[in-house]
Structure 1
Amino acid sequence: MNATPPVPLWRAALLLSVATILWGAAFPVSKAVLASMDPICMALCRYGVAAPLFLILLAWREGAAALRPEGAFWRLVGLGTLGFAGFNLLMFYGVGMSRPEFGAIVMALQPLIAVMIQWARSGTRPAPRSFVALGVAVLGVLLLTTNGHPARLVEHAALLPTLMMITGGTCWVLYSMGAAAFPGWSPLRYTALSGSGGALGLGAIWLLVGAAGGLRLPTAAALPGLVPALLFLILPAAVIAVLCWNQGIRQIGAQRGMLFINLVPLTALAVGVLSGHPLGGGELAGALLVLGSLFINQAGSRKPATAVLCPAAAGRQA
């Protein structure tokens, strides 16, 4: 009843590109915000505002009846907490303990994580081109984030933050795959109800950490300067990006859609170039490899890989 009609494959690719480009632009913006508050406060600011906006949009587009979780309240809270709390907190705390380059590399591992999870669930070995595309993507991100000198990564390597970021990336993969449990729901409905569940999870974490005195709140003097950055993190980088992501994933599936995550470091590179950072040869080679991995992943397949998320909803995925 709430299912959306099929959309062209090129549109799904465009939606996923928009989402990951916005997330890539959010990394340098987040860095400035995190100088004044901790990742828990930043995530709660983002999704504490985004979740009501999702619900208002859902009620307007599909009616008040679509707001009902239909017996899946706790499942949505769990999925939302995985995606919006688990990913954001583990990723940004891990980046804070190491370097942004590690975050970019871990995000590049998310397609591989999706392949392994799907392989374990279905018992069906992915197509060889998927492994080739993943290998090319990881190599490209390594070149991109080190400018062709991978040894730089070892200078600040640390096991704990790396494990935190890998766990955070796994949380986002599981959230994206979770849409399979709601084949009759539109991408907007899954986004709104799971996002609200995630905001509740973030609120509970905020209260627990606050009670233990572990929060770092912005000062009153710093708040006015944070408003433009927070508005970007809430509207384009949370509301628009998550809606685009879930729509694109519904169309082509998590296993193939996750490869678009590799556009995040590309966007961060582009932001750096626009800010005056010179483009190195290694960075350029890495960027080309990342883009090439997307084409490899699509080669030889004219039909969307919807079976990854929802076998019953062939031709469209949320």
Structure 2
Amino acid sequence: MQKTSKLLSPTAWASLALVLATIMWGVAFPVSKAVLADMDPISMSLWRYGIAAPIFLALLAWREGAAALGLEGHGWKLLGLGTLGFAGFNLLMFYGVSMSRPEFGAIVMALQPLIAVMIQWARSGKRPAARSFGALALAVLGVVLLTTDGHLSRLTEHAAVLPTLMMIAGGTCWVLYSMGAAAFPHWSPLRYTALSGTGGALALGVFWLVVGAAGGLRLPAASALPALAPALLFLVLLAAVVAVLCWNQGIRQIGAQRGMLFINVVPLTALAVGVLRGHALGHWELVGAALVLLSLVLNQLGGRKAAMTKNLQPALAACK
């Protein structure tokens, strides 16, 4: 392991972790669509994170000891962040998609890096570099072309304000959750994931009880469970446990603002899944995919340049 780690820089490992997470989420979209035919979004989300949370906690106790399970006075903050990331994002995004089109969900996800930049700008008062806005513009344009194959008129089909606002709110929830990890600099990504994920699972449980009391749940029949089992296992073990751990590890290393741009790997992966199922790629889909990849390259190059400048500053100061 030590020898392998020298082959890649910490930033490269973080990028690899983010790509792995978003690939699994990209596969999870078509898998979730099949599951949602038999189960409502809140039940599916509770299934995922109600099982994932105990796994997170067990991993944390095994790796860092029982003392790491302590909240250190951050219980309410972790509950709030977990509610935003695991309940807010999943419920607002999936209910919004169910009332519109999957393309809108992909485009709204592409707005998450822009949301992160705007939040960071508002917090710090420091305007982001023009390069950052250029990479974001390329990413959004790429995802629009990718999801519509150049037929922009699709954006007006089944368009509605409420589901769009719900999906934007869901995307903002995930951005805030990802940025929230910075408030725990001395915690490992595993600890932040486990304790915030537990808060999110508790919130999902409360929402599930409330919606169930109102008669808004839709559960699969017992006869359908064997057929759904592989999809549900994937959504829990890979798309929840492994993906969220990889995501928080990557975000810890390179920061939420740069890391959020990797979310655009999700529609790329969904496109790749479609190709494997026999979908023939259109010209504009290829252009859109190329623009998304270009935005990621620009994002990485920009981050590397910024890091080099920061490292050179002490040497330059010493020469004066």
Category of TM-score, reference length = shorter chain: over 0.9
- 1:249 corresponds in structure 2 to 251
Residues 150-229 of structure 1: matches in 2 within 5 Å?
A: 150-229=152-231
Amino acid at match of 2:75: F
Amino acid at match of 1:172: W
- In the alignment, is the contact (CA less than 8 A) between 1:52 and 1:196 conserved in 2? yes
Secondary structure class of the residue paired with 2:175 = helix
Rounded to whole Å, the distance in 2 between the matches of 1:12 and 1:256 is 11
Deviation of 1:213 (Å)? 1.1
Rounded to whole Å, the distance in 1 between the matches of 2:255 and 2:124 is 14
Secondary structure class of the residue paired with 2:111 = helix
- The TM-score normalised by the length of structure 1 is 0.93
- In the alignment, is the contact (CA less than 8 A) between 1:83 and 1:171 conserved in 2? yes
Deviations 1:108-140 (A, max 9, x none): 000000000000001011111100000000000
Rounded to whole Å, the distance in 1 between the matches of 2:254 and 2:303 is 11
Deviation of 1:303 (Å)? 6.6
Divergent runs of 4+, >3 A: none
Unaligned runs of 5+ in 1: 1-5, 306-318
Change (3 A) 1:147 1:80: same
- 1:54 corresponds in structure 2 to 56
Rounded to whole Å, the distance in 1 between the matches of 2:16 and 2:252 is 13
Q: Larger helix proportion, structure 1 or 2? A: 2
Amino acid at match of 1:220: A
Rounded to whole Å, the distance in 1 between the matches of 2:306 and 2:237 is 29
Do residues 235 (structure 1) and 237 (structure 2) align? yes
Rounded to whole Å, the distance in 1 between the matches of 2:72 and 2:232 is 33
- The TM-score normalised by the length of structure 2 is 0.92
Secondary structure class of the residue paired with 1:299 = helix
- In the alignment, is the contact (CA less than 8 A) between 2:258 and 2:303 conserved in 1? no
Change (3 A) 1:97 1:48: same
* % identity of equivalent residues: 79
Rounded to whole Å, the distance in 1 between the matches of 2:161 and 2:239 is 29
Secondary structure class of the residue paired with 1:70 = coil
Q: Supply the RMSD in Å over aligned alpha carbons.
A: 1.2
Residues 11-50 of structure 1: matches in 2 within 5 Å?
A: 11-50=13-52
Deviation of 1:40 (Å)? 0.3
Change (3 A) 1:304 1:246: farther
Rounded to whole Å, the distance in 1 between the matches of 2:214 and 2:266 is 34
Deviation of 1:91 (Å)? 0.4
Unaligned runs of 5+ in 2: 1-7, 308-320
- 2:5 corresponds in structure 1 to none
- 1:125 corresponds in structure 2 to 127
Deviations 1:191-236 (A, max 9, x none): 0000000000000100111111111111111111111000000011
Deviation of 1:7 (Å)? 6.3
- In the alignment, is the contact (CA less than 8 A) between 2:60 and 2:194 conserved in 1? yes
Rounded to whole Å, the distance in 2 between the matches of 1:200 and 1:74 is 12
Amino acid at match of 1:107: M
Deviation of 1:302 (Å)? 2.1
Deviation of 1:299 (Å)? 2.1
- 1:134 pairs, out of 121, 133, 136, with 136
- 1:80 pairs, out of 79, 82, 104, with 82
Change (3 A) 1:33 1:175: same
Deviations 1:155-174 (A, max 9, x none): 22111110000000000000
- In the alignment, is the contact (CA less than 8 A) between 2:146 and 2:286 conserved in 1? yes
Amino acid at match of 2:234: F
